[in-house]
Amino acid sequence: MRELLKSCLVIYSLLFGMLAHGELLIEVTSGNDQAVSIAVSPFSWQGDQILPEDPAGIVDNDLNLSGVFKAMPRTSMLSFPVNEAEVYYRDWKVLGANYLVTGQVSQTGSVFTLNYQLYDVIRGKRIDQGGFSGTVSQLREMSHRVSDSVYENITGLTGDFSTRILYVTAQRHSVERTDYQLNYADADGKRTRKVFSSREPILSPSWSPDGTRVTYVSFEQGRPAIYMQELATGKRKKLTNFKGLNNSPVWAPDGKSIAMVLSKGGNPDVYILDLATNKFSNVTSHYGIDTEPDWMPDGKSFIFTSNRGGGPQVYQQAVSRRSNGKFVAEGKPKRLTFEGKFNARAKVFPDGKSIALVHKGQGAAAFNIAILDLDTGRLRPLTSSKLEDSPSIAPGGRRLIYSVQGGEHGELGIVSADGRVKQRLPSAYGDVREPAWGPATSLK
């Protein structure tokens, strides 16, 4: 128990320093040598006002940051085609482009329409086209949707550019005062919006499956309590305020229940709150510490961190839901991690075949992000900074976001699941922590 508490305190004590209230800045630190060349021509515009966004620039940036593509600079383009008749494939072949994207933006009243076309330069043909409509404030969402469509059409995989991320910032004004803020932003770090602010710590943010609500831990009343908040209205609801620990809320895949850690029974254990009945079910019970749950995709089991084996390791527990809203543990927990002296903060990949976690090897000094294949038991390190924490996986399962400690200011990192592409998301204003990758935005 002491080892787990000590390790958790080391990580959490480094979570907050200076504040980041501005947008996150994405810096590519390691790229893909085999990235596919793609050109995104500036989109045409028909409307009665100055277009407040550069949709083609957003698509260009998304695809470039994916690591799969290398976007061609506009200064290298010989022309800016806006439709198929203006596309000269020979010119784009000479420039080395494999694919070309063109687009048009138009306005009818308050409705903005963004159409795009995707061309295979090598084969000399259009391979996809589509469009999205929305308000002027949704131009970025529509642009990210174009990026998703282009990405999926070429790779066959779902894009994650229209998703969002939660994160916590902290600004230390003096020894006596630090301001904390929970924010969310687009996956490219733009359009930061405040969810909640406090002079007390905010921890463990989590998205609802539909992206309309979030949960988090707030110390605003002097001790930890779990809150649920609607993003559209700002309406908050306190879910727990028991004596002792109230921590690590995480939504079930169906959005009908939330797993969390409570110590109201004495030791920290995993509980599940059924949102319809407001009933709490104690689904782990041990004299050690059980913490940090995350659901498997089918909602029939969850993983969690426990020191019941002598040190922090990851376990899996099957559960079933009764008709009265109560959850019951099925069988004993199964240990998943064996390599290293510390494995914690685990998150499940969308396909349920792997988990990402914070790993510390025997005799190692660093806490790093690693991936465990649940079929083979193979543990594969992804990162190599001195202190990393809080991995969270993009809905498509191809990228992870995590926090990076040990420097002058804490920042976020993004790494591809194969470890080849790495990015940093520092803030111009200070520390940023506790990331959580959420679902795609809605155009409805």
**Amino acid, res. 143:** S
Residues 187 and 45 in one domain: no
Under DSSP, the state recorded for 430 is B
Given a cut of 50, is residue 321 above it in pLDDT? Answer: yes
The answer to whether the CB of 316 falls within 8 A of the CB of 354 is no
**Same structural domain, 11 and 50:** no
Give the three-state DSSP class for 199. coil
pLDDT at residue 378, as a whole number:
95
The answer to whether residues 350 and 267 belong to one domain is yes
Decide which of 104, 135, 155 is a domain's last residue. 155
pLDDT score recorded for residue 386: 80
Question: Does some domain include residue 23?
Answer: no
Q: Order of strands, edge to edge, in the sheet holding 279-282? A: 246-251, 257-262, 269-274, 279-282
In-domain check, residue 220? yes
Indicate if the pLDDT at residue 146 is higher than 70.
yes
When pLDDT is averaged across residues 33-56 and rounded to a whole number, the result is 92
Same domain, residue pair 171 and 54: no
Residue 93 lies in a domain: yes
pLDDT at site 444: 67
Say yes or no: 240 and 350 in one domain. Answer: yes
* pLDDT exceeds cutoff 80 at 429: no
Q: Are strands 301-306 and 313-321 parallel, antiparallel or unpaired?
A: antiparallel
Distance CA 283, CA 274 (A): 13
CA distance between the termini of the chain: 48
Q: Is residue 141 part of a domain?
A: yes
Q: Are 107 and 10 in the same domain?
A: no
Is 363 contained in some domain? yes
Lowest mean pLDDT of 99-108, 121-130, 180-189, 343-352, name the range.
180-189
Instruction: Report how many domains make up the chain.
Output: 2
Last residue of a domain, one of 123, 155, 187: 155
Quick: pLDDT tens for 164-202: 999 998 877 777 778 899 999 999 989 999 999 999 999
Flag whether pLDDT at 29 surpasses 70. Answer: no
Sheet holding 411-416, edge to edge: 27-30, 422-425, 411-416, 399-405, 387-393
Residues 111 and 239 in one domain: no
Cα separation, 315 vs 331, whole angstroms: 13
Domain end marker among 155, 176, 193: 155
Q: What percent of the chain has pLDDT over 90?
A: 75
| 165, 211 contact by CB (below 8 A) | no
Is it the case that residue 92 has pLDDT exceeding 90?
yes
Q: Are residues 337 and 436 in the same domain?
A: yes
Q: Is residue 66 part of a domain?
A: yes
What are 105's two structure tokens? 């933006």
Q: Is residue 147 part of a domain?
A: yes
The DSSP bridge partners found for residue 260 are: 271
CATH for 128: 3.40.50.10070
Q: Is 354 helix (H, G, I), strand (E, B) or coil?
A: strand
User: What 8-state DSSP symbol labels residue 137?
Assistant: G
- Whole-number pLDDT of residue 20: 35
Residue range of the domain that includes 82? 29-155
Query: How many angstroms separate the CA atoms of 387 and 380, rounded?
Result: 17
Tell me what pLDDT residue 15 has: 33
Please say if the pLDDT value at position 17 is more than 60. no
Count of beta carbons in the 10 Å neighbourhood of residue 362:
8
**Arithmetic mean of pLDDT, 258-286:** 95
Is residue 22 domain-resident? Answer: no
- CATH of residue 257's domain is 2.120.10.30
* pLDDT score of 2: 41
Verify that 327 and 211 share a domain, yes or no: yes
Indicate if 53 and 144 belong to the same structural domain. yes
- Report yes or no: 295 and 250 within 8 Å, Cβ to Cβ: yes
Kindly state whether residues 205 and 139 are assigned to the same domain. Answer: no
Provide the b/e sequence for 209-244 (b: ≥16 CB within 10 Å): bebebbbbbbbbeeebbbbbbebeeeeeeebbebee
What average pLDDT does the chain have? Answer: 90
Residue 376 has pLDDT above 60, yes or no: yes
What whole-number distance in Å separates Cα of residue 213 and Cα of residue 210? 8
pLDDT attached to residue 70: 93
Same domain, 147 and 202: no
